[in-house]
Amino acid sequence: MNNPPDIAQDPAEHEEYAHGVHQHVSRYLMVGGLLLFFTLLTVALSYVDFGGFFSWLFHIHVSPDGGRKLNITVAILVAAFKASLVGLIFMHLAAEKRLIYRVLVFTGLFVLALFWLTYFAWYDPITR
Amino acid sequence: MEIPYTISTRPDTGLWNAKIGIWLFLASEVMLFGGLFSAYVFLRLDARPGEWPHGLLNVPIGTMNTAILILSSVTVVLAWAALKMRRYRAYWWYMLATISCGLIFLFVKLYFEWPQKFEHFGAFIKPEAREKYEQYLGNHHRESKGFEPRIEITGHLENHEALHDPNAKEYEIAVDPVFLDPNNPVNDRPHFLFVPPTDHVVKIEKEDVDRIDSFGPWHSAYFASYFTITGLHGAHVLGGVLVFLYMWLPVSKKVYQRNPEHLANRVEVSGLFWHFVDLVWIFVFPLFYLL
């Protein structure tokens, strides 16, 4: 999962290095194929009635509203998986310098706080 | 004066400067889109039954656009790898492919998706008048199955003048096919293929209508957030295309000839931006088109 190292000045070393990049290329193509596959999968899954499926599988009653929530959960999970593929492979986050991870940890915390603020507004006792 | 650390790493950060710069910028972008997505969640959770429309967007076109954007993410990373391998010709072609993908995405959005919306109308029926239009709405059937009610009749508005004419008594809408067979279980959920409005004109009395609007941002919280988020996303695609265009033009060949690694680093940071734009779309697509 290592990124290509910084370019070497020595031609012989560069030859070896270029070979390394070449191996990365096949990985990028594979990830691209996976992303396309998961796009089609997410479209197909959105037309599956998960509520009905779960009722049948576990012999429980799932309301249409509950079924919708199941569909939403599945779609978000697939999207999160696709997003992590893009992040880890295309954006090289699988192997990055520590400073960038630090920046991203804070970004994650702040964006969670942002979502939490909206959630908080939902329970606003004044307008409700 | 030479700008420092465009290629070599800065000792204290361990990175060349543009790399840390783009990640800080992307962090701010996460907050920008995060705010809008949290607004989307808020509006959606708050919508009363039937108020959040489903199946109004064209799913096949949306799927195609998603594929185009993913493809462009692959080509931009290949363009960068080509530069790393010192193959300028291959880089040039991959960059051209990326730019074309971005332009096709924007073209589809601006010439197919958005204009269709402005010609499609929805008439929100007042709660007390819904019984009168039961044959089109099919709410008894939906209630028996536990589905959210239909609160609007959509289609092509045949008499636009009725919007402004105080003497006009009714709206004539060539309805979407679902309203001709509302009790059929196949119409319980949205379809994959987009079906245009039928020729069947339904007359709806003005006094039964709460409001009538085309599918613009003014139609509902759903379309307001759809246009805001896809509009901002589209602006990002345009920005990315412009940057890539600069990297692709002969000006950048000079940078390559002076130091190929410099251009590779430029392509890497603009590629990071492009992947982020792709990443946002990965969430936009299911949230607006499928759910």
> Does some domain include residue B286?
yes
Per-residue pLDDT band at A4 (split at 50, 70, 90): very low
Q: Return the amino acid letter for A96.
A: E
Which among A47, A97, A111 has the least Cβ separation from residue B34? A111
Least reliable range by pLDDT among A18-22, A36-40, B9-13, B139-143: A18-22
For residue B281, which of B118, B109, B117, B44 has the smallest C-alpha distance? B109
A87 with A107, same domain: the answer is no
- pLDDT of res. B35: 92
B29 with B79, same domain: the answer is yes
Per-residue pLDDT band at B185 (split at 50, 70, 90): confident
Question: B88 to chain A: which residues are within 8 Å by CB?
Answer: none
d(CA B178, CA B197): 9
B125 with B113, same domain: the answer is no
- pLDDT of res. B13: 85
B96 with B227, same domain: the answer is yes
Question: A40 to chain B: which residues are within 8 Å by CB?
Answer: 63
> Does some domain include residue A16?
yes
> Does some domain include residue B227?
yes
Least reliable range by pLDDT among A89-93, B33-37, B75-79: A89-93
For residue A82, which of B61, B280, B225, B65 has the smallest C-alpha distance? B280
Which among B31, B278, B291 has the least Cβ separation from residue A71? B291
Structural domain of A127:
97-128
- pLDDT of res. A21: 76
Residue A95, chain B, CB below 8 Å: the answer is no
> Does some domain include residue A68?
yes
Q: What is the domain count for chain A? A: 2
Residues 6+ apart with CB under 8 A from A116: none
Question: B281 to chain A: which residues are within 8 Å by CB?
Answer: none
A103 with A52, same domain: the answer is no
Chosen domain end from B214, B234, B263: B214
A101 with A83, same domain: the answer is no
Per-residue pLDDT band at B161 (split at 50, 70, 90): confident
Chosen domain end from B165, B184, B214: B214
ipTM of the complex: 0.88
B24 with B136, same domain: the answer is no
Chosen domain end from B169, B194, B214: B214
Structural domain of B135:
121-214
Least reliable range by pLDDT among A2-6, A50-54, B118-122, B254-258: A2-6
Which pTM does this prediction carry?
0.90
For A105-120, what is the mean pLDDT? 90
> Does some domain include residue B284?
yes
What share of chain B in percent tops pLDDT 70? 100
A58 with A112, same domain: the answer is no
- Rounded to 5 degrees, φ, ψ at B209 are -105, 125
> Does some domain include residue B8?
no
> Does some domain include residue A66?
yes
B141 with B97, same domain: the answer is no
Mutation pick from A107, A109, A116, A124 vs chain B, by most beta carbons of B within 10 Å, is A107
| Residue in B closest to A37 by C-alpha | B67
B113 with B125, same domain: the answer is no
> Does some domain include residue A3?
no
> Does some domain include residue A117?
yes
Instruction: Name the residue with tokens 């650390």.
Output: B5
Asked if the model's pLDDT at residue A2 lies above 70, the reply is: no
Q: Indicate yes or no: CB of B74 within 8 angstroms of CB of A28.
A: yes
CA-to-CA dists, residue B184 to B82, B138, B139, B179, angstroms: 55, 9, 12, 10
A103 with A47, same domain: the answer is no
> Does some domain include residue A17?
yes
Question: B81 to chain A: which residues are within 8 Å by CB?
Answer: 21-22, 24-25, 28
Which among A32, A99, A117 has the least Cβ separation from residue B71? A32
Per-residue pLDDT band at B186 (split at 50, 70, 90): confident
> Does some domain include residue B72?
yes
**DSSP reduced 3-state for B285:** helix
- List, for residues B211-233, the tens digit of each pLDDT value: 999 999 999 999 999 999 999 99
A19 with A74, same domain: the answer is yes
Q: Indicate yes or no: CB of A39 within 8 angstroms of CB of B67.
A: yes
Element (H, E) at B212: strand B209-214
A113 with A83, same domain: the answer is no
Q: What is the domain count for chain B? A: 2
A70 with A15, same domain: the answer is yes
CA dihedral B49, B53, B54, B55 (to 10 degrees): 150
d(CA A107, CA B29): 10
A61 with A109, same domain: the answer is no
- pLDDT of res. B100: 96
Question: B46 to chain A: which residues are within 8 Å by CB?
Answer: 122
> Does some domain include residue A45?
yes
| Residue in B closest to A32 by C-alpha | B74
B183 with B128, same domain: the answer is yes
Check: CB of residue A32 under 8 Å from CB of residue B280: no
Residues 6+ apart with CB under 8 A from B185: none
CA distance, residue B13 to nearest chain A CA (Å): 7
Per-residue pLDDT band at A12 (split at 50, 70, 90): low
B137 with B45, same domain: the answer is no
A78 with A103, same domain: the answer is no
For A66-93, what is the mean pLDDT? 90
B231 with B101, same domain: the answer is yes
Residue A110, chain B, CB below 8 Å: the answer is yes
User: What one-character-per-residue DSSP string does B104-125 give?
Assistant: HHHHHIIIIIHHHHHH-EEEEE
B200 with B229, same domain: the answer is no
Quote the mean pLDDT of chain A: 82
CA distance, residue A53 to nearest chain B CA (Å): 15
Which among A22, A39, A46 has the least Cβ separation from residue B291? A46
For A30-58, what is the mean pLDDT? 89
For B131-160, what is the mean pLDDT? 89
- pLDDT of res. A8: 47
CA distance, residue B241 to nearest chain A CA (Å): 18
Element (H, E) at B272: helix B260-284
B30 with B106, same domain: the answer is yes
- pLDDT of res. B49: 84
- List, for residues A46-66, the tens digit of each pLDDT value: 888 888 888 888 888 878 778
A75 with A16, same domain: the answer is yes
> Does some domain include residue A5?
no
d(CA B218, CA B48): 17
Q: What share of chain A is helix, strand, coil (3-state, %, to 5)?
A: 80, 0, 20
- pLDDT of res. B291: 82
Q: Indicate yes or no: CB of A18 within 8 angstroms of CB of B23.
A: no
Quote the mean pLDDT of chain B: 91
Query: Which CATH number goes with the domain that contains B67?
Result: 1.20.120.80
Alpha-helix runs per DSSP H in B146-185: none
B179 with B270, same domain: the answer is no
Q: Indicate yes or no: CB of A39 within 8 angstroms of CB of B42.
A: no
- pLDDT of res. A56: 83
A51 with A106, same domain: the answer is no
Check: CB of residue A83 under 8 Å from CB of residue B276: no
